[in-house]
Structure formats: C-alpha cells, structure tokens
Structure 1
Amino acid sequence: MKNWGIQSRILLITLLPLITISCVLGGYFIKVRLNDLDTLVEQRGLATIRQLAPACEYGLITNNTQVLQKVANSTLNELDVRAAKIYNKYQQQLVHSGPNMHNVERDSELPHEVTIYRYGDTIRLITPIFAQNLPNLQKVEATLNPTLGEELFSEKIGWAELELSLTNTELKKYQALLTSCLLLFSGVLVCAVITIRFSREITTPLIKLTHAVESIKQGNLDVRVNSESGGELRILESGVNSMASSLKTAYDEMQQSIDQATEDYRQTLEQIEIQNVELNLTRREALKASQIKSEFLANMSHEIRTPLNGIIGFTNLILKTQLTARQLDYTSTIKKSSEGLLAIINDVLDFSKIEAGKLVLDKTPMNLRDLIEEILTMMAPAGQDKSLELVSLVYSDVPSDLIGDPLRIKQIITNLVNNAIKFTNKGSVIVRTMLEEQKQNTVTLKISVTDTGIGMTDDQQQELFRAFTQADTSTTRQYGGTGLGLVISKKLVEQMSGDIGIESTLNQGSTFWFTIKVQTEDDASTIYEMNRLMKKKALIFDTHPTARLALSHAMQQWEMEVDEVDDLEILEELAFQANNNQAPFDVVVLGIGKDQLENKQIMDSIRRIQEHLNLKTIVLINTTEQQAVQRFQLLNVTCLTKPIISTKLHAALINGIFEKNTPLLPQKSEPTYNELSHPGKVSILAVDDNEANLKLIKTLLTDMGHTVYEAKNGAEAVEQVQINTPDLVFMDIQMPVMDGVEATKTIRSLDERKYLQIPIIALTAHALSGEKETLIKAGLNDYMTKPVSEDQLIATINKWANIESNNTTSNTSPGAQEERALVEKPFTPPELDETLVSVDIQECIKLAAGKEDLARDMLGMLIESFPRDIPPITEAFENDQNNDLLNTVHKVHGGTRYTGVPKLRSICHAFETAIKENNGKAQLEVFYRKLIEEVESVKLWTENNDWLD
C-alpha cells in the first residue's frame, strides 16, 4: 500500500466507504425482504387454515365426509397449499387431499391451539375446530337432543391440518437477492466511473509535477510545469517552477565559484609542492638535529656523570675519615649538591627517553603496599624534620601482588611525595591507594598524595604538567627544581593507561592523584603463613586521626579486634576496664610524635600498663628520634619507626603477643654490603680513561682487599687481560684509542677459552634507553651506570666473582651461571640435632596460634598424609629421579612446618638441601633412611599417646 499511486489512493478513499455502506445497507434490506417473505407465507397459511376450520364444522358435526372432502379439495386451490387433512375429535383422519404430507416431529396428541411446524421446504399448520361458529345449528341440535347439544359445543369437534410448499417463496427470495446485488453493483460501478473521471483532474497535474521534479533531480534545471489546474495544485506548480529557476541560478553561480576555486586550488597545490620540498628539507634537518640531540645527551651524560662519579665517590671516602664539624658540614653539602645534580640529570634523560618514545615499561611481580611503605620510609627523615606525619592508607580491596613496573611507579609516587613534603611546612602527607575497577586480571588503581601545604590557585594549576615550569617564578626561586618531575610522572602514567590530576585550594593544601592499570598475579602467595593474629585485641593510641586510621586499617586486615583512642586517660581507662571484664587487650600500640617524646604522661601511662596489666606495648616513633630508644628499652617496650611497615609491624605483634621475647629495637636500615661476607679476594681489572674515576674504583676495590689492575683505554685492557687474566673486568665504554665495546669484542675473540669465561661489566655514564641491551648483545655480561656506589660494586662482585662457566657471553644468563656454580660448589651436609624429639605438643599448640583443637587436627592431617606422600619418595629415590624426589620431599617438609615434629622437620630440611646440592646417591641414602625411620617414630608416638583422641 505504501507503493500505491495518488489515483489508487483516491479510488480507495472514495470507493471503500461507498462499498462498505452499500454492502451494509444492501445486506440489511435483503435480510428484511427475506424475512418478510417468510412471514407472508406463514400469514397466508394462518389465514387459509382459519378459513378451513369454520368450513369443516358442519361436516364434522354431521360426520359427513363428502362435505369435508369437498372442503379439503377446495383448499388446494389456495396459493402454496400442498395438502390438507381433517381429523375428528378422536384424532382420527377423516379426509385427506393432495399428496402425502412429509413426516415431522410432533407430539402424538394434536395441539389445542394453532401450531406451525417447519420441515425442509414445507410448513405444517394444525388448528383445533370448535362448533361455536354455527349458532343456528346449535339451536337445532339442542332442540332435537338437549344433552347432545351441550356436550357437542363444549369440546373440540376435530382438527384441520395444512401443508404449504415454500418453493415459490424461495424463488422469490432468489429473485430479490439477485435484484439487490445488481442494483448494488450498478451503483458502485457508476460511482467508480465518476471517481476515476474526477481523480484524473488531480493525478494528471501531480504526475506532471513528479516528472518535473525527477528531471530537476537528474540535472535538467530548464524544465517547467503547466497543467492549467487551479487551487492548491496551481500553487504547487508555481513553487516547483520557482524552485527550478532558483536552482538554475544557484547552479550557474556555483559553477562559476567551482571554476574560480579550481583555479585557486591549482595555485595552492603549486605552493604546497613548494612547501613540501621545504618541509622535507626541514624534516631532514630536524632528524639530524634530533640525532645530534641524542648524541649530545649521551655525551652530556658521560661528561657530567664521569666527574660526578669521582665527586660522590671521594666524598663518601672523605666522610669515612675523621673530620671536624665544619669539614663534615662542608663535605655533606658537597654530597647533597652532587646528588641533587645527578637527580636533575636523571630527570632530563628520563624526559628525553619519554619524548623519543623509547621508554619501555617492565612487567615484573611487585607488592604495592611494600612499595609505598618503602617510599615513605625513605622520605621519612625529610618529612619528620619538618614535623610532618607521613601516612600510607591502602584499602583492603586493593590486591597485594601485582605485575607492573615497580621502578616507574616508585618514581611517580616518590616525585609526588617529595613535592608534598617540599611545599608543606606543617601537618601531614597522606598516600591513599584504592581500587577503581577490576576486570578479570586487570585492575585500575587510584593513588593520591594529599598534603596540608601552601596549595595553588586555579591559574597556577593550569601551568602544571608542562616541561620546565612550576607554579610561578617566585616558587621556583624559593624551592628550586627543574619542573620536569610532574611532566615525567604524567608521561609515565599515560604509558600505564592512566590519568593524573590535581585538586588544590590556596593555603589549604593539594591532592595529586593518578590512576594506572596493572595486572594481578595469578599465583600470588600470601604474605604470612597463617593468620595468627585472628581475634586478638589491640588498643591503638595516636593523636593524628589519619595515622590512627591507617594503623587500625592494617591490623583489621589481619582480623584483629581494634579499639582507637586519642587520649591517654581514655587509653588507660579502656585497658583496665577490659582487664576487669575478663576480656583484656593483647597488645597496646602507641604512635608518638616528635612533640610528645618529652611528655612524662606517656611514660607514666606505659609504666602503669606494663606493671599492673603486664600488657605488651609497641611504640611507634619517628625515624629521626633514635635517641629516645633507650628510654623505652628501660620499660621493656618494643620500638618501631614511623611510617609503619606492615611486615615489621606484623612480626612485632606476633613477637609481642606469642613470643614474649626481648623487646625489638627500632629497625635499622638494611645492612650495607660492607657488612656482608665477600665471596673471596679476587683480581679485578678496572678500565677507565678518567683518572679520578679510575682512582676511585681502585681505592674502593683495594679497601675491599681485592687485587686491582688498571687500564686507561680498551687497547691497554686487552693487554692486561692477556697478561694477568683477571677474575672480573669493570669496563668503561667511551674511551680513546679503543672503546669498551670494541675491547670486549677483541677479548672475546681471543683464541683461548678462558677469555670467554671472564665476566665483563659495563661501567658507563651513558644512560639512554637501549644502552644495556646493546652492551649485552656486544658480549658484556652486566651493566652499571655511573656514578657507582660502593654497595653497587660489592653487589656486582658478589654476583659475578666466583662464576665459572663454559660461556660468559651474552647468550649465558646469570641465572644459569649461578646454577652451574652452585652445582660445582662442594657440599657440606647440615648436621642433624639428635636431641630433637619426634613430637612436641607445646610446639604443636604454639604453631596453631594457641588452639589445641587446631593443633590436633594439623598433626592428624600430617600423619594421614604419610601413606600418600612417602611411597612416591621411595620410588623416586630408588629410580634416581632427583627432580621428583625434590618435589615429594619438599611436600612433606612443607607439612612439617605447621605442626610440632621438630626432628622430622630437621631431617626433611637436610634431605631437601642435599638434593638441591646434587649430592650423590650414597649421601642421599643417609637422609632417606633417617626420613623413613622418623616417619615410623612419629606414627609410633601417636599410637602410644592418646593426645590425638
């Protein structure tokens, strides 16, 4: 219907209502006519039978059948009468006229009133006959026989029955139906003809208009319409003609404009070609300039880092000597200034890497909580010198074990925290970490750094995240800096598919936030073997609400029950009240700020809690307040430094609640490599063209007790290697005569195999991206960036000095070399303590966090595992399958760690160590026999003791 034309629609609109009305009215009148015909037949039959009844009265009274027959025969002359019957009062048929009547279903008794029956194409009428219509006869009969007359005229004297044929009526019905249909069809046909005639006056102009519009659409703008119609169609024709005229005018103007634009475009293309040539030349110059810049950065890195290496190195050496207070101050200033200059250089080089698109992010396992705590611990002295509270708040839904680039994440957070400390004179710096979104193994984290510093205006915020800019010039002069920190952070965050922003109010502080997307580690292991702190009660005191919240949050993650207070009197009240209610606290943790250390009330509160409640106390003090440790030692108090480190706090809580050992001292920094044992005295070749650097390295190595050879260029290095065959080579890269890469290739190409085994470590000031990969491919084994610290030297020597392998070229991984060195290392079997018992019940309970039922279950589970785990050990040992043997012994060893079987645990540890050291079968058999014997001893103990029952 949607595709119908206008004429079809006009016909539909006109004829559909007409046909509908005609059909409805025609049907109605035909039905009325047919009903009238049926009614007429019935009325004719009733009139006939009413005439027949009186005519039959005399014959019925006199029982004259001849009269009745004549009456019946005369009835057949009536229209549509087919047959007639007359019955006496006894319902006996007296006469019948016409053909046999059709059988109809009626009662056996004749009706007492006029009744009509229908059967097929006939109508049956029956009526009773009374003598009441013959009054004269009634008088005569009554005179002759009074009794008979009374009886006769009080009852029916008979019945008359007629059968009428409906054939004529049906014929009349068909005639009426045919006539009506013909009239209806004729009327509709006449209307259709009239409609078509008049519709053409509408459709013809419209068709012309349609053709005209189609021609205009195809581009024939000269077409015009003239259908000589009137009304709205005339207006439409005028509109179409006007539109065609306007389009013609517009087309002509457009064509002129196109011609002009084409000419202009041609001229522009000629100019663009000229500009392209100029741009191509400019691009080549830019690429050349970029290459020159990269070379300049590399040279700058080398030229600046090389003297910095000597300055920082010799400054560290001077600081180890006896100095006056002024000399110490001056030397420390030199060291800080040198380190500041090194930080600026690192920022510039990082910015250059990012701008060049050569910064590649690592994907290594990391613990974000530990990372942030490490940053805050490192920044703590700077913040605590200004009496700032540094707090890390990691929400519980943040996954601990992630996969990302910890170095770059640490760089971002360190930058933001350093800025917060720099621009904050009082208050706090809070690092919050929350989970924004998690989809399968990808999580989006939001980390914010909030300070209470000077804040910024909206205009100053607009200037952030731009290279070499800060909030304003005065701030730059006051606080210094390159203005690259936030730019580098922004670029790093964007590389991690995140975003970075700031919310700040002048004189009220700032919040820098950023989001990153990292992967979760599928097989992440838990930090602690078991949650021994579950349900333990802790009482926390700290006047700083956020620090108190962070501490409480961390302890609640270990499922401890925590109460917080910010008042010492309330602290004591709660502690004594809990003790009186038989629900004492297990530990008290006090966060003490710098201004509270001289508060006598704190010391008195700790002393009362210790003396009266015997309650373990842990004190958190600033890193810079180490002199306060002795005071708390006198009170048998464990001291930890702020900001808190979760692992150390957990260990202190375990020690305080369960071990009851000597109190812990504040954590010292990690031991330096000077405090570690060296792998032995080795011979080392130091190669550097800078005399200061060479002297520094030689001094450091000589102080460690190593034999040091010197070379000032690559050619001398090759000679020294051939003459002295050192155990290790520290090779500078950029040198005259022969650089470090060429020298390394020359050494590797020497005929003898021993020169392939010498570890060569790159010692370079170059710090651009891809440098390490290039050097490793060139044949060097490792990479160190100047300036080099003493700790780095010791770590590198520890890593490479004792390695002996068949190939130390770039194709040999350090891990593989260490493994081979471990194999060749002579084995010293660990001694077994024969005094250890098979089962220690107290140790079982202790390892089960004091729960005896759990201890029984864990020991029972270990014993039940023996039939499953011991046979594989026997099979692997007998078949010399050391890998399978290591796995099965390790499995049993792991089970012994959670229950009190000290002797079996010791044997498993020794057995596992011997397998890892690739000991011979004869030595392994000793541990195997002891393991089997001790398993039987544990079984025998359980059989002879009812503790497990």
Structure 2
Amino acid sequence: MNEIKGIHKFFSNKIQTIELDKDGIILNSNNQLFVVTPKESIQNFHPFFEIISTLFQKDNDEVYFNTVHLEVVEKTFIADIIIDSGNKIKNPSILIFDQSEHYKDVQEITQQRNEVFIKNFFESQKLIKIEDERIIKNKFLASITKDLRTPISSVAGLLGLFQKGSLTFEQNELIKTIRLSMNHLNRLVNDVLDLSKVEIGELNFDIKPFLFDDLVTNVENLYQNKFLLKGIHFKVIKPSKIPNKLLGDKHRVLQVIINLLENAYQFTNTGEVIFEIKIDNISPSKTGLNLIIKDTGIGFEADKIEQLRKSFSKAHDTTIEGSGMGLSIVKSVVKLLNGSIRFESKKDIGTVFNIFLPFELDVKKTEKPKNIQPFKKVEINKKINVLIVDDNEINQLVLMKLLVDHAGFYMDIASNGKVAVEMVQKENYDLIFMDMHMPILDGIGAITIIRGSDNKKIKKTPIIVLTAVESSDERKKCKALKVNYYVLKPFSSQELFTSIYTVLKLK
C-alpha cells in the first residue's frame, strides 16, 4: 500500500490540470507545476497557449503535444500536453505532464547512440562497393535531414509567431538567444550534409562572378556585434587595392570564413580576433588571396595538431562545446577549391589559420546591381481554399497561424498523402501545400495520383512542396509532375508568401 501511495505521489507532483471555458478563461487548477489565477485567460501565461487557443472552440477533440518547452513564472521545464476541447456538457481542459527528467535522459542516450551510429556508418562505407555506398548514403541523408530539419523548421516558425506578439524586452532577448542556437543547429545539419557529399564526390560548386569586397563587408557586419557582446575586439584588415570582382564560388568561400570565425569565437574568451586579407601572386588574369584568421583564444598543444586533420575530431576535451566538423569541412572545401591551409597554435596564447585560395579575375565590365524590390504583402479580397498536407502537428499549426494572420485563406488539414487524395476528390481547393515525407502515402505518391486524375480541375490544382530534404532527385520528380513551387524547410514567412503570390499570380 505504501508503494502505491509513493507512486501516486510521484506522478501527482508532475501533473497539472487546468479547467477552462470555451473562451480560454481559467475556471480552476491544481497548480501543481505553476500557479494560474482563475478568471484570467490562459493565453496570458505563455505564447504556446495563445497559439492553441482556437482548439477550445471545437467539440470532442483531443490533441497531444510532446516535448513542449515551457517557461512559466520563472520556471522552465519540458512537458507533454494534452488539450481536451470538451463539449456542450464538459468544459475544455489542459493536462500538463512534466517530463523534464525523462527527456533529459532520452536526449543523452540518443546523443550517445547517434554518435556511435554515425561513427559506425562512415566506417562501414569503406567496406562497401561504390555504387552500393551511394545508395546507402542517399537513404541516410534523406532520413537524417528529415529528422533534423523538420523540428528546426517548426521551432523557427513558432519563434516567428512569438515575435509578432506583444513581448517584453527580456522575452525578445530570450527569443534572439534561441534563434542563435537554432542557427547554430542548422549549420550543424548543413555541415553533416556537406561532409557526406564530400565523401561521395557530390559537393557542388557554383563558379560565377562575385564582389569580394561585399563579401568581406557582410562578414564584418555579421560578426562585429557578435564579438562585441562577448567582450572581444574584432578587426578586419584588407589592402587598399584588392581585386574586387572574382570568379569563384562565393558561398563556399563564405563557408570557409564563417567556419573559422565560429571556431575563433567559440575558443576565444578575452583579447581579439583579427581577419586579414593579403594579396598573393597577382597577375593580369589570376590572383591568389590569403585569408588569415588570428585569435587570442585557448589554443591547443602540439600533440593535438594531428587530430585536427581528422573528420569529427576535436582538439579540446569533451567538456568544450563543438562537433569537431567545422575544420574538417574547411579542409575539404579548400582542397576542392585548389587552395591550401596552414595553421599554428600555442596553448593559452592563440591560433592562426592561413587559407590560400586562387581566383580568376572577371575582366568583364561590371554591371550595375539590379534594384531589389522589397517584399510587399498582397491584400486578398477573395476566399482561397487551402489544403495543408503534413504529418507534423507543430508544422500544421505554424502554417495555419501564418495564413490566418495574413487573412483570405480557408484551411483544411490532411496528415498523410492518402487522406489528402481523398479530400481533394471531395472538395475544391485553390492551393495545396504538400510535405514530401509522410506515412502511408508520401508526397510524391499523392502528387502522382492528383496529377493523374481524370478531373481536369483536380489535375491542375496548384501544388507548393514544403520539404525538409534537399534532394536533386526529388526536385526532378517534382518538376516532372509539374509541381508549381518547391520550398525548403526551414522557410521564412516571406519565402512562404512569395511562393503563394507567384503560384496564384497575385500582385
């Protein structure tokens, strides 16, 4: 009996129940996790409750949310939440289960498992034939990109919605901090993809003219405040007569610079970071540039240098944050750009990286930059029926909220391709948002059926693909199926509405 009481006490201490009316006004609560005041709106306690407030208007509907990060009344925890919309007889209710300890343990176990999985995966590729290696790698990339980019897109969307509300200065600063973390996570996802593409020889380069001075200015603007907030002096040194218009891959050059600056930022706590550009071996048609990044960070010992030449290796102990992928990517990209990399470091004194990259000069007459028109919201004066096809509930809510805030859109939801096909046959839709990777029937399967319909109106329904996986094969299939627009997650609200205006020819 004592054991049963103990179990009951353990769970009751982690569960809070809140009863509300249909307008979201609190009627009563056990206040087990945080204190709420009766007769106040539940929306006042956290932005999450504002987003899901429309669920209370339904009858006999139950929605489950897992791993929701809540910060309420100076308390932060991760919870599973069940929303019961109630009905004419029963009031709506919210059940909040504090799962912080559980998800912390799951995260640690998952991280260890993923590290072992990635290590074993890449080691096993050495024993597989080249063609089989490509097939397995593509499946791995599709899976890992979907699993990582989908939650990144969800969180980025929710952050965008939060910032549209009335937030205090402190709340805005917290959201900015979260955005920095999300950007870091997004970079890690891209790093994994790029490393994998390097190994199978599929890392693409886009060689075209670009303005090097503009690139340096953007880097300086990006990192000036970031280093300043950490109390580090950041300085950019460049020669007065530097070749401006170069032929090369601007984004890969930027990727090298940013990875090295992020490395300097991470391991420098006092002093300065200097980014210097020097001209090397200039000629009428070619030039070489030395990109030097010097920091006064913690440095590393001589016996650690060899580790820096290995993929996924870290020159510092495991208590220091970092994946160890950045320098591996720098080395790979520099080599593919026909450049070279040298570095030296001393413990507690600092590190210097010297990157040499060769470029051809673009001797053509510089064209005046085109005037870029700012994004402008289009007023919609007609009803636009939209079908959202996505198996992720957070993605559904984010997309619905963006469309509701814009006005003019009327929405239905389908959780997989099979349900979407059935709904398209019963209802006339002006636009379909289609996720690519879903259970039962995926996006390609659903689009194939819709485009193959005998009903001409259904067959020509505009489709915008929203996908977390960047795949050239998938793009080709979508193009063959006459998909109207292809948007990669995570996307901004501007990217979303640009695709809508383009597809529906709205001005």
Q: Take 2:424 and 2:207, find their aligned partners in 1: how far apart are those partners? A: 38
Where do residues 532-931 of structure 1 align in structure 2 (5 Å cutoff)? 673=375, 676-678=376-378, 680=380, 683-707=385-409, 708-721=411-424, 726-751=429-454, 758-767=461-470, 771-802=474-505
Q: Take 1:378 and 1:754, find their aligned partners in 2: how far apart are those partners? A: 48
Asked if 1:343 is matched to 2:173, the reply is no
In structure 2, the gaps of 5 or more residues are 1-125
Q: Take 1:406 and 1:755, find their aligned partners in 2: how far apart are those partners? A: 42
- Aligned match of 2:102: none
Quickly say closer, same or farther: Cα 1:288–1:782, change in 2 above 3 A.
same
Q: Take 1:394 and 1:490, find their aligned partners in 2: how far apart are those partners? A: 23
Q: Deviations over 1:143-163 (max 9, x none)?
A: xxxxxxxxxxxxxxxxxxxxx
The answer to which structure, 1 or 2, has the higher relative contact order (CA under 8 A, 6+ apart) is 2
- Aligned match of 1:512: 353
Q: 1:356: Cα distance to partner?
A: 1.5
Q: Take 1:752 and 1:437, find their aligned partners in 2: how far apart are those partners? A: 65
- Aligned match of 2:312: 468
Asked if 1:321 is matched to 2:165, the reply is yes
- Aligned match of 2:140: 296
Q: 1:370: Cα distance to partner?
A: 1.0
Q: 1:787: Cα distance to partner?
A: 2.5
Quickly say closer, same or farther: Cα 1:328–1:404, change in 2 above 3 A.
same
CA RMSD of aligned residues (A): 3.5
Quickly say closer, same or farther: Cα 1:308–1:777, change in 2 above 3 A.
same
User: Does the CA contact (< 8 Å) of 2:235 and 2:275 recur in 1?
Assistant: yes
User: Does the CA contact (< 8 Å) of 2:451 and 2:481 recur in 1?
Assistant: no
In structure 1, the gaps of 5 or more residues are 1-281, 529-669, 804-824, 826-949
Q: Deviations over 1:348-407 (max 9, x none)?
A: 122111112111111233212111221222223321112333333333443222232222
User: Does the CA contact (< 8 Å) of 1:433 and 1:448 recur in 2?
Assistant: yes
Identical pairs, percent = 33
Q: Take 1:523 and 1:433, find their aligned partners in 2: how far apart are those partners? A: 24
Please state whether the residue corresponding to 1:780 is helix, strand or coil: coil
Quickly say closer, same or farther: Cα 1:462–1:285, change in 2 above 3 A.
closer
Quickly say closer, same or farther: Cα 1:726–1:783, change in 2 above 3 A.
same
Q: Take 1:302 and 1:740, find their aligned partners in 2: how far apart are those partners? A: 13
Amino acid in the other structure paired with 2:316: D
Quickly say closer, same or farther: Cα 1:327–1:431, change in 2 above 3 A.
closer
Q: Take 2:254 and 2:501, find their aligned partners in 1: how far apart are those partners? A: 26
User: Does the CA contact (< 8 Å) of 1:672 and 1:791 recur in 2?
Assistant: no
Please state whether the residue corresponding to 2:377 is helix, strand or coil: coil
- Aligned match of 2:334: 493
Amino acid in the other structure paired with 2:497: I
- TM-score normalised per structure 2: 0.65
Asked if 1:481 is matched to 2:322, the reply is yes
Q: Take 1:774 and 1:399, find their aligned partners in 2: how far apart are those partners? A: 42
User: Does the CA contact (< 8 Å) of 2:191 and 2:325 recur in 1?
Assistant: yes
Q: Take 1:685 and 1:403, find their aligned partners in 2: how far apart are those partners? A: 44
User: Does the CA contact (< 8 Å) of 1:744 and 1:779 recur in 2?
Assistant: no
User: Does the CA contact (< 8 Å) of 2:300 and 2:316 recur in 1?
Assistant: no
Q: 1:440: Cα distance to partner?
A: 5.8
Q: Take 1:482 and 1:691, find their aligned partners in 2: how far apart are those partners? A: 30
Q: Deviations over 1:475-522 (max 9, x none)?
A: x423x1110011111111111111122133443332212222334334
- The number of aligned residues is 379
Q: 1:317: Cα distance to partner?
A: 2.1
Q: 1:449: Cα distance to partner?
A: 1.6
- Aligned match of 1:136: none
Where do residues 229-244 of structure 1 align in structure 2 (5 Å cutoff)? none
Amino acid in the other structure paired with 1:714: G
Q: Take 1:335 and 1:693, find their aligned partners in 2: how far apart are those partners? A: 17
Q: Larger % of strand: which?
A: 2
Quickly say closer, same or farther: Cα 1:451–1:284, change in 2 above 3 A.
closer
User: Does the CA contact (< 8 Å) of 2:234 and 2:274 recur in 1?
Assistant: yes
Q: Larger % of helix: which?
A: 1
User: Does the CA contact (< 8 Å) of 2:210 and 2:246 recur in 1?
Assistant: yes
- Aligned match of 2:251: 407
* Correspondent of 1:395 among 229, 232, 239: 239
Q: Take 1:773 and 1:376, find their aligned partners in 2: how far apart are those partners? A: 38
Quickly say closer, same or farther: Cα 1:400–1:324, change in 2 above 3 A.
closer
Q: Deviations over 1:532-561 (max 9, x none)?
A: xxxxxxxxxxxxxxxxxxxxxxxxxxxxxx
Q: Take 1:772 and 1:394, find their aligned partners in 2: how far apart are those partners? A: 41
- Aligned match of 2:344: 503
Amino acid in the other structure paired with 2:397: K
Quickly say closer, same or farther: Cα 1:386–1:284, change in 2 above 3 A.
closer
Structure possessing the higher radius of gyration over alpha carbons: 1
Q: 1:466: Cα distance to partner?
A: 1.9
Q: Take 1:721 and 1:400, find their aligned partners in 2: how far apart are those partners? A: 53
